[in-house]
Chains A and B, each alone.
Chain A
Amino acid sequence: MRSLNSASRSDSPPAANGVESQPSTAELEDRATRDGSSRRSFFFLGALAASALLPGKARAQVRARQRTPVDREQPKSDGFLTVPQNERVAAFAEWDTATTSRLVRRVTLGVTPAEVAKATQLGWQGYLNYQLNYQRINDDAVEATIAAKWPLMSQTSDQLFNADAGQVQTQLRESTLYRAAFSQRQLYQRMVEFWTDHFNQDIDKVGYLYVADLRDVIRKNALGYFPTLLRASAHSPSMMLYLDQTASRKGAPNQNYAREIMELHTLGVDGGYTQDDVAELSRVLTGWSFQAPGTFVFNAGSHDTGNKTVMGQTITGITGANGINEGEAMLNFLVSHPNTARFIATKMLKWLLDPNPTEEQISTVASAYKATGGDIKAMIRVILNDTWLPAAPMKLKRPFHFVASALRSTNPAIVSITPVNNQLVNLGQQLFSWDTPDGFPDKMEYWAGNIVPRWSFGTTMSTQNSTTTVQVDTAPYRAGSPAAAVDLLDQNFFGGEMPLVTRNGLLAYAGTATLTDAKARELIALAISANAFQWY
């Protein structure tokens, strides 16, 4: 397309007021200085003042934070002060990043005193093994609650076909939030969340079919082998419907699934395929569909039996029921491709470790993929080591993660989780309603401004006081002095590593008088709203 660009330039001379009228660099820098000086000096003085109060090691960390490049924006020479975008936010000085609490923060949906104690007892590797071998963790209580409260979730698509569509959606969302918050298998739940986004679908389009997809594709394989997971997804009626595979047939292929299986599910957008490869793969996959209510089928009559070439692979057309083997062969090709190993490795690193993983990290994890045939556990073992994670930046919790954290930290009595689940709409992450196949963003720049809804949620969560829905008990916070209440908040919400600024703020707000129920709830709301509670 370069030719178009140059052609349009040659059509007419550059505009008189375009590039030529730029202010001089000096002028721009002058402007930027006036805009930015107060904030920068504020940062500097704030960090200086804070670091004076900290022990030596923490001071070093504060200094390290200051050295962290925060502005990757280009071109810098223009001198304008865009709000810096920073995907490498160093951990709070109060977080002892070398200890297991760091690992707990990263593999759970929120620190709790019990989880921190368990990790301390098991040590880094022991706790990681414990979470990875999730099937050995007894989760019967949570699953029994889910079976009782949300019975549709154990039904087959044939059964769900006749269920109320609204009930299916509600039960799917509420049970997912409940399980994420209260399952003992926390790392597993984090990976369920990851693969749910990786193979994202819109429940408004796929309806009841999504229940089976999430249960039998995602949850079944979240800590299994990626090739198995990918194949299961490619045979999922829900996915067939979501990406229009059902509408693709010989002579009139639909490219939607063929594109996304390469772009989003395996190779990645830079994975080496072309538009022609998309078109050819869509021919290979003609006939892949499903039969209502919810059975995968290969319709040989709809299959294009001609020969195809996808990424240099020649696929000889096969007639009859064996025509499905063309697609199966392509799935094998895709999961074995080195670019898939890299793409999955990079995405898992971004999820579990660092939004900007290094080349060394990517190639190391991709090697683990290749060496183990896509063993997700093996890749996690490589990612969450006690060298990389302590040095990794913090990540901003997405709303779902944030709400699950608040549930874990408040640990309320729950009869119906509806009022809490409903808050995910205001927070911008109503489950299964991100309508494009890329899944909810995991980018700080996207979520950072979404902050008043979080503060509002803090109020809503803390004031839950109903015996028929959700009840947060403030008695433990009112049992002692206001200062003791702040200590308890530290344990329950911050893993015992509450930043000093938050402690001072909460102490000031708490005052010295015995806490009322209302004030205790406000303190809980502030803890949920605090900066440190947004990160992991």
Chain B
Amino acid sequence: MDDQHEADCGCQEYNELSRRQFVGAAAGLSAMAVFPDWLPKIVMAKNYASNRDIIVSVFMRGGADGLSLCVPFADANYYASRTTIAIPRPDSTSANKGINLDNFFMFPQAMLGLVPAYTGADLLIVHAAGQTNNSRSHFDAQRYMEVGKPVDPALVTGWLGRHLASIPPIKIDAPLRALGISNGLQKTLVGAPKTLPIADPANYSIGGSGTTQAARLAFMKGDYASADEPVHSAALDATNTVDLLKSVAFSTYKPANSAVYPNSSFGRALKSVATLIKADVGIEAAQVDVGGWDTHSGQDPIAGSMFRTMQDFANSLGAFYADVITTGYSVTVVAFSEFGRNVRENGSAGTDHGRASALFAMGKGIAGGRVLVKNWPGLAKENLDSGQDLKVTIDYRDVLSEIVQNRLGNTNLGFIFPTWTPTMLGVTR
């Protein structure tokens, strides 16, 4: 692996860029001296030989209403279809009026937390995005997206798992390359080497006496040495990860730029990921889930459940933007959902399962500050999928393929998204 690594990653200077930028900005002293206490763990980046971005992949589980997340207010059919749950136009006098993005789309007030990333040209919204398969089952649709190919029972690994399996580690001796902030491994990451689900990285310990911990972990290593996969790899990775995470000071972590992560499961998850990224322990991918999008009733994007879900989403990602993206760390974030929702609201002030939604990509390497559409289908009834849903005109794999290739440095797209020939849309800079 060493040769491979050296050959692939000859960009030592770039790798240390963020750290040196930080050093320069902080005081101009020697590197060892200027890292402040709040940086969770300081290691010199001698192995950090890569110009590849770290990826934070967010799955918005439940079918997120793209028409509330990023509202096509200039399409009159939106207001005709959403009689009780529409967001007022940006040029209205309502206190709940939307935030104009490009004179066609707007954010609801709930998404205010992502406005800095948008105006900073680091947030791209891809609209009418989704998958080709038209399943309206949460579970099938999630599976297809996470696997990266619809309806193939033989393909059991996830797209991010195959990405990690087909590229050398960013940090060659990293005990843990990726994690899912989850109790169980999300399908997206299945198949990835050195990858674990860790619900709370700050409390990753086997407990008990500190003096016997090493001996007990040694027992585990021996006991699981002959275990079958995938338990075998998981157990051995776990024994190495316990010590790794113990060395990271989660509890004293202080976000940069006074960023405040919401005290929600999503906010805490992103804060943990930020801590790990800055600890420079070799994490190169994180999968985070955020739920609450299955808004069949009482959706209320102005003051109710959808408002709170979107606000938590935007404030958490907004904090991550201020804390991590704007401070020079090479990270790309993607966030998407298994499908959107019906254009027309139902009788319960909610929306049932639909088709296209909005996809989010964020990072210094993302050509952001705009809403990307392709042949925007519009909301006129005659243009809707099955007469009821926003059509999918951009396949999410086109967006991910471009990010995987240009930001994650992996050209094995045929392995990561089998049978898909991507169309590059100019998602990355």
Q: Which of A14, A269, A444, A531 gathers most chain B CB within 10 Å?
A: A531
Contact A451 B137 (CB under 8 A): no
Contact A34 B184 (CB under 8 A): no
Nearest CB to that of B355 among chain A residues? Answer: A1
Q: Specify which chain B residues have a CB less than 8 angstroms from the CB of A502 in the assembled complex.
A: 223
Contact A86 B225 (CB under 8 A): no
Contact for B296 among A81, A256, A438, CB less than 8 A: A256
Nearest first, the 4 A-B pairs at minimum CB distance are A252-B347, A428-B183, A82-B191, A247-B348
Contact A34 B4 (CB under 8 A): yes
Nearest CB to that of A452 among chain B residues? Answer: B238
B28: interface (CB < 8 Å): no
A429: interface (CB < 8 Å): yes
Q: Residues on B close to A: CB < 8 A?
A: 1, 4, 61-62, 132-140, 152, 154-157, 161-162, 165-166, 180, 182-185, 187, 190-193, 195-200, 203-209, 212, 215-216, 219-220, 222-231, 233-235, 237-238, 241-242, 291, 294, 296-298, 346-348, 350, 352-353, 374-375, 386, 391-395, 398, 401-402, 405, 411-415, 418, 421-424
Contact A244 B162 (CB under 8 A): no
B136 to chain A, nearest CB (A): 6
Contact A449 B348 (CB under 8 A): no
Contact flags A417-449 to B (C-beta < 8 A → 1, else 0): 000000000111100000110100100111111
A534: interface (CB < 8 Å): yes
**Contact-residue bracket for chain A:** 35 or more
A518: interface (CB < 8 Å): yes
Nearest CB to that of B298 among chain A residues? Answer: A247
Contact flags A114-139 to B (C-beta < 8 A → 1, else 0): 00000000000000000000000000
CA distance A31 to B291 in the complex (A): 38
Contact B216 A525 (CB under 8 A): yes
Q: Which of A4-12, A321-329, A376-384 contacts B (4 or more CB under 8 A)?
A: A4-12
Nearest CB to that of A92 among chain B residues? Answer: B226
CA distance A136 to B208 in the complex (A): 43
Using A18-B405, A85-B191 as known contacts, list a sample of 13 further A-B pairs with CB atoms less than 8 Å apart, ordered by residue number in A: A73-B155, A74-B155, A86-B229, A252-B348, A253-B346, A269-B140, A450-B197, A451-B238, A452-B204, A455-B207, A501-B223, A505-B219, A518-B209
CA distance A472 to B345 in the complex (A): 56
Contact A83 B220 (CB under 8 A): no
Contact for A531 among B155, B184, B231, B374, CB less than 8 A: B231
Nearest CB to that of B134 among chain A residues? Answer: A1
CA distance A510 to B324 in the complex (A): 48
A305: interface (CB < 8 Å): no
B37 to chain A, nearest CB (A): 27
CA distance A446 to B391 in the complex (A): 32
Nearest CB to that of B233 among chain A residues? Answer: A83
Q: Which of A2, A12, A18 gathers most chain B CB within 10 Å?
A: A18
Contact B191 A83 (CB under 8 A): yes
Contact A256 B352 (CB under 8 A): yes
CA distance A502 to B223 in the complex (A): 6
Contact for B294 among A436, A447, A460, CB less than 8 A: A436
A102: interface (CB < 8 Å): no
Q: Specify which chain A residues have a CB less than 8 angstroms from the CB of B162 in the assembled complex.
A: 80, 82
Contact A83 B229 (CB under 8 A): yes
Nearest CB to that of B157 among chain A residues? Answer: A82
A489: interface (CB < 8 Å): no
Contact for B205 among A42, A438, A452, A506, CB less than 8 A: A452
Nearest CB to that of A257 among chain B residues? Answer: B296
CA distance A34 to B5 in the complex (A): 12
Q: Which of B136, B180, B223 gathers most chain A CB within 10 Å?
A: B223
Chain A interface, DSSP helix/strand/loop, else mixed:
helix
Decide yes or no: A446 and B157 within 8 Å by CB, A1-B134, A451-B238 being known contacts: no
Contact A75 B415 (CB under 8 A): yes
CB-contacts of A464-509 with B (<8 A): 501-502, 504-506, 508-509
A266: interface (CB < 8 Å): no
Q: Specify which chain B residues have a CB less than 8 angstroms from the CB of A518 in the assembled complex.
A: 209
CA distance A253 to B225 in the complex (A): 55
Q: Residues on A close to B: CB < 8 A?
A: 1-2, 4-5, 8-9, 11-12, 14-15, 17-19, 21-23, 28, 31, 34-35, 42, 46-47, 50, 65, 70, 72-75, 78, 80-86, 89-90, 244, 247-249, 251-256, 259, 263, 269, 275, 278, 396, 399, 426-429, 435-436, 438, 441, 444-453, 455-456, 458-460, 463, 501-502, 504-506, 508-509, 518, 522, 525-526, 529-531, 534
Decide yes or no: A83 and B374 within 8 Å by CB, A256-B352, A436-B61, A452-B205 being known contacts: no
CA distance A82 to B159 in the complex (A): 11
Q: Specify which chain B residues have a CB less than 8 angstroms from the CB of A444 in the assembled complex.
A: 230-231
Contact A1 B392 (CB under 8 A): yes
CA distance A269 to B154 in the complex (A): 17
Decide yes or no: A83 and B184 within 8 Å by CB, A1-B133, A50-B226, A269-B137 being known contacts: no
Contact B224 A531 (CB under 8 A): yes
Decide yes or no: A8 and B156 within 8 Å by CB, A78-B415, A269-B140 being known contacts: no
B127 to chain A, nearest CB (A): 15
Contact B228 A70 (CB under 8 A): yes
Contact B421 A82 (CB under 8 A): no
Contact B424 A78 (CB under 8 A): no
A220 to chain B, nearest CB (A): 27
CA distance A531 to B298 in the complex (A): 46
Contact A18 B424 (CB under 8 A): yes
Contact A8 B395 (CB under 8 A): yes
Q: Specify which chain A residues have a CB less than 8 angstroms from the CB of B165 in the assembled complex.
A: 80-83
CA distance A81 to B231 in the complex (A): 16
Q: Specify which chain B residues have a CB less than 8 angstroms from the CB of A458 in the assembled complex.
A: 206
A169 to chain B, nearest CB (A): 18
Q: Specify which chain A residues have a CB less than 8 angstroms from the CB of B61 in the assembled complex.
A: 436
Q: Specify which chain B residues have a CB less than 8 angstroms from the CB of A278 in the assembled complex.
A: 136
Nearest CB to that of A19 among chain B residues? Answer: B414
Contact B1 A35 (CB under 8 A): yes
CA distance A8 to B96 in the complex (A): 37
Contact for A428 among B137, B184, B395, CB less than 8 A: B184
Contact for B352 among A90, A254, A504, CB less than 8 A: A254
CA distance A98 to B398 in the complex (A): 52
Contact B4 A78 (CB under 8 A): no
Contact for B222 among A22, A42, A501, CB less than 8 A: A501
Decide yes or no: A255 and B353 within 8 Å by CB, A22-B412, A244-B297, A501-B225 being known contacts: yes
Contact B348 A74 (CB under 8 A): no
CA distance A34 to B8 in the complex (A): 15
A81 to chain B, nearest CB (A): 6
Decide yes or no: A451 and B235 within 8 Å by CB, A19-B421, A82-B192, A83-B230 being known contacts: yes
CA distance A525 to B219 in the complex (A): 11
Contact A9 B219 (CB under 8 A): no
25 contacts between A and B (CB under 8 A): A4-B132, A8-B394, A8-B398, A14-B421, A14-B422, A21-B411, A22-B414, A47-B226, A73-B157, A73-B191, A82-B165, A83-B192, A84-B230, A89-B231, A248-B347, A254-B347, A255-B346, A269-B140, A399-B183, A428-B184, A449-B180, A451-B234, A506-B219, A522-B212, A531-B223
